[in-house]
Amino acid sequence: MATWIKCTNTKREVVYVNLDNAVTVTRNDVADRVAERGTVISFMGGEQLCIVVNEQPEEIIKIEAIADRTSS
């Protein structure tokens, strides 16, 4: 079952991210990899396939762990 997490992008819009397809979840505090600060969630297919959200990586991982426990 897919793990969809509700996040907020840098434009303060609600987005739903399927973490089962995520390759990396990294903090981008200095806006070096992408132009926006926040947490970069990258997906398979290259560096262009990513989304930047306001939530910290620790928050996202905690939400995913809770979702995994409730779905089993």
Of the given ranges (5-9, 18-22, 53-57, 62-66), which has the lowest mean pLDDT? 62-66
- C-alpha neighbours within 13 Å on the C-beta side of residue 56: 3
Domain that holds residue 37: 4-71
More confident residue, 61 or 12: 12
Per the structure, the count of domains in the chain is: 1
- C-alpha neighbours within 13 Å on the C-beta side of residue 1: 9
| Nearest-angstrom CA–CA distance, 35 and 47 | 13
**What pLDDT is recorded for position 49?**
87
**What pLDDT is recorded for position 37?**
82
pTM (2 d.p.): 0.76
